[in-house]
Amino acid sequence: MGARARRTVAAGMLVVLAATVSHADDAAPRSLQARAQRFPRVTSARAAFEQEREVSLVDEVLRASGTIAFRAPDHMRLELTAPEAMTIAVDGDTLTVLDAAGKPITIPPEFTGFGRFGRVLTDLMLGAKGPEQFREEWHGADAVTLRPDDPAAPFSEIGLRFPADAPLPSEIVLRERGGDRTTIRMRSLPEARPETAS
C-alpha cells in the first residue's frame, strides 16, 4: 500500500472514530446532577435578571427586573428594582416580603406558593439534588424541560437553558397550567462581599 493510500485509510478511520465518539456522547445519559458535576461545586450564586410575564387575561407583556441570589440549602432572595422596589426572601419554610424601605409587609395572597417555588428553584440553580418531582427531557447538552409528576403542580413545565461553559442557567421558562408563561433571563454577577470594619 502506497503512502497516499495509507493516508486516505488513516483519514477515513479518524472520521469513523470521531463519529463513534460523537455518537457515544449523544447517547450518554443526561441529568441536572451529571451536568452540575462538570463544574466546581456551587453553593451560592447571584445574578441580574430580566423577567417577561405573558398572562392570558392581559394583552401586554408584564416586565420586571432586579437581582436574585441563592444559597444552599434553601435560601433565595429576589430583589425587584422594577416595576417597583420589593424584596422577597425564602429561608427554609419562612417567606418574607419587604417593601422599598426594607420593612416587612403582609404577604400578598398570590405569593402563597412562592416559598416552595423558591426551594425548588434553589435546588435547580445550585444542582444540590435532582428534581425528584420532575421528569427531565433533554434537548442537547445544555437545555432541559422539566415536567412535574404531580398533576396538581402549578407549572406544566419548566425549561432551563444553560451556557455551555457555566453551571447556572441563563434562561428559565415557566409555563403555568392556565396558559400563562414567565421567561427569566439571567446574567451571573460576582458574589456580594460582606462589608468589613475599617
Domains in the chain, start-ordered, CATH in brackets?
Answer: 42-189 (2.50.20.10)
pLDDT over 50 (residue 16): no
Reading the block at residue 4, the C-alpha cell is 497516499
pLDDT over 70 (residue 1): no
Q: What percent of the chain lies above the pLDDT cut of 90?
A: 33
| Chain CA centroid to CA 16, Å | 36
Question: Going edge to edge, which strands form the sheet with 181-189?
Answer: 94-98, 86-91, 75-82, 62-71, 44-54, 181-189, 171-176, 155-161, 143-148, 134-138
The model's pLDDT over 41-87, given as tens digits with 9 standing for 90+, comes to 888 999 999 999 998 888 889 999 999 999 888 899 999 999 999 99
Does the pTM exceed 0.75? no
What's the average model confidence in pLDDT over 142-147?
A: 93
Question: Rounded distance, CA 62 to CA 55, Å?
Answer: 8
The model's pLDDT over 84-117, given as tens digits with 9 standing for 90+, comes to 999 999 998 888 999 999 999 988 776 767 777 7
Mapping DSSP to helix (H, G, I), strand (E, B) and coil, where does residue 68 land? strand
Reading the block at residue 17, the C-alpha cell is 472514530
